[in-house]
Structure 1
Amino acid sequence: MLGIIGIVLIFAMVFGGYALAGGKMGIILKALPFELMMIAGAGLGTFLIGNDMGVVKHTVQDIGKVFKGAKWKPSDYRDLLCLLFELIRLARQSPVAIEEHVESPGESSIFSKYPKVQADKIAVELICDTMRSMSMNYDDPHQVEEVLDKRIEALEHHRMHSNHALQSLADGLPALGIVAAVLGVIKTMASIDQPPEVLGKMIGGALVGTFLGVFLAYGFMGPFASKVKAVVEEDLHFYQLIREVLVANLHNHATNICIEVGRQNTPAHFRPSFVDLEEALKSVKQEAA
């Protein structure tokens, strides 16, 4: 919603201010289709040259994040903590019983209580791979933490491709706007014998190219890149929470303490309150009883 409001505000303030100052929209509207064809077309071409098909598809999908925001909501963090609580408690009570949930999370009665977490392949793999390794006596907290850190860093590197691609496009658009403007000046120079009023309109049309390149770069592509980066970083907190809880478990803290460590390491705007989490955990215990 904020993304749509931002776009409307950009157009209203830029073109509204121009019109109120006495600017003539006719010159812009006449030149806009041709300038947009050159700048947007060249921008798309450079985008395709500079990225492979996987990054192109990923970037197109990630543009939706500008309007949707982060995938994980506060209730999802609470559900994740409840899921980890159930898994850790069961693993300590019966190491054999946990195997069916870790080996087949898609069919697990515990995972199925939290369908959004269950549907996320990365979250499930982080949980199951770590708990499986614990059952194989790979339980050194520092080594496991290092492995999880590397996996999350690799995930971050992969998901930042869209941000880098959009930022590169934003950096190049002003220069492409200058290219379009220079071509407009060349066209104007070829008609130097025309009267001043004709030349003025032609020069104005050429300058639309410079305007459009800067406008698209700093009004859209740059903010899109920043928003995608912010959303990726927010979503990564979900996986970092898994790391915090599972590493605390390897330090042999009480199950409630492990969950509290995770809760306190959750970003403030996603963190469930202590009371809310306690109520959710009580419900989990009652269901299991």
Structure 2
Amino acid sequence: MDLATIIGLILGFGAVFGGAVLEGLHITSLIQPTAALIVLGGTFGAVFVSFPLPVCIKAFKDIKIAVLPPKVDPDAIVKDIIGYATKARRNGLISLEQEAQNASDPFIKKGISLVVDGIDPQKLRETLEAEITAYEDHQKHSAEFFEAAGGYSPTIGIIGAVLGLIHVMSNLSDTSKLGAGIAVAFVATIYGLMVANIVCIPIGTKIKIRMKEEVLRRVMIVEGLIAIQNGENPHFIEQKLKSFAGAEH
């Protein structure tokens, strides 16, 4: 579990609601289901118009990346690649065929299979880098989804506030309720700003960070496999890959 995400959400919402309490407001005055409906419904309605349905579905699935990031151990990857390099140096590249079948990581499995097939190192790099680019292009849509939601949310909040003020203005005859009505109207603005700046934009940023970590991991694998194919010394390969592993920590 990513504690930074949990701590950030607690601090963000805690600061808003805690500050409201310190100002003398009742928490119940900030809990308005109608305002929440307008902001959430309007915001995600706008992003659903902006993006294809598969992107929207994937974006919601990728929320788990912000809270439950995939476990990546760069040192373990370096160890595995060094193991492949040692075996290939001793028994030849064809000896890695069994390793390709046993690999649980699809990217490593594909890379080793290409190495075993004897593909040209330059072609190997181009093939695997093309896959990395495709992954990056596909993954960034989720980040763009939440960034777009963060852009729409404050505006939808203003719409909610205007709707609330329209309701207040239509009941000017009862002046005793004007203050409370105006306060409720502006809760939608607060919701819009909170959804944008505490939830959507930060989640989009976290997805981007996870994407960069995965891209770096794959680049490390590519460099390791090409070094194996070139017959480089396992010790030299280890030193080269440790620079990538250090960048991920």
* Residue in 1 that maps onto 2:116: 132
Conserved 8 A contact 1:70-1:234: no
- The one-letter code matched in structure 1 to 2:112 is C
Fraction of identical pairs, as percent: 24
Q: CA deviation at 1:269?
A: 4.9
Q: CA deviation at 1:83?
A: 2.2
Q: CA deviation at 1:194?
A: 1.8
| CA distance in 2 between partners of 1:254 and 1:225 (Å) | 41
Residue from 75, 79, 89 that aligns with 1:78: 75
Matched, 1:90 2:87: yes
| CA distance in 2 between partners of 1:87 and 1:190 (Å) | 75
Structure 1 alignment gaps of length 5 or more: 112-117, 271-289
* Residue in 1 that maps onto 2:168: 188
- The one-letter code matched in structure 2 to 1:98 is L
3-state SS of 2:245 partner: coil
| CA distance in 2 between partners of 1:239 and 1:214 (Å) | 37
Superimposed CA distance per residue, residues 137-181 of structure 1 (whole angstroms, 9 cap, x where no aligned partner): x32x44432332222121111111110101111110001101111
- The one-letter code matched in structure 1 to 2:53 is M
| CA distance in 2 between partners of 1:218 and 1:7 (Å) | 10
* Residue in 2 that maps onto 1:285: none
* Residue in 1 that maps onto 2:135: 155
Moved more, 261-270 or 183-192: 261-270
Q: CA deviation at 1:18?
A: 1.5
Structure 2 alignment gaps of length 5 or more: none
Q: CA deviation at 1:124?
A: 2.2
* Residue in 2 that maps onto 1:13: 15
Conserved 8 A contact 2:93-2:116: no
Conserved 8 A contact 1:177-1:211: yes
Conserved 8 A contact 1:70-1:235: no
Matched, 1:203 2:187: no
| CA distance in 1 between partners of 2:97 and 2:70 (Å) | 32
3-state SS of 1:69 partner: coil
Conserved 8 A contact 1:246-1:258: no
* Residue in 2 that maps onto 1:277: none
Conserved 8 A contact 2:66-2:203: yes
Q: CA deviation at 1:217?
A: 0.5
Matched, 1:168 2:165: no
Matched, 1:3 2:5: yes
Matched, 1:63 2:48: no
Matched, 1:238 2:179: no
- The one-letter code matched in structure 1 to 2:151 is D
* Residue in 2 that maps onto 1:287: none
| TM superposition score normalised by structure 2 | 0.88
| TM superposition score normalised by structure 1 | 0.77
| CA distance in 1 between partners of 2:211 and 2:113 (Å) | 23
Q: CA deviation at 1:215?
A: 1.3
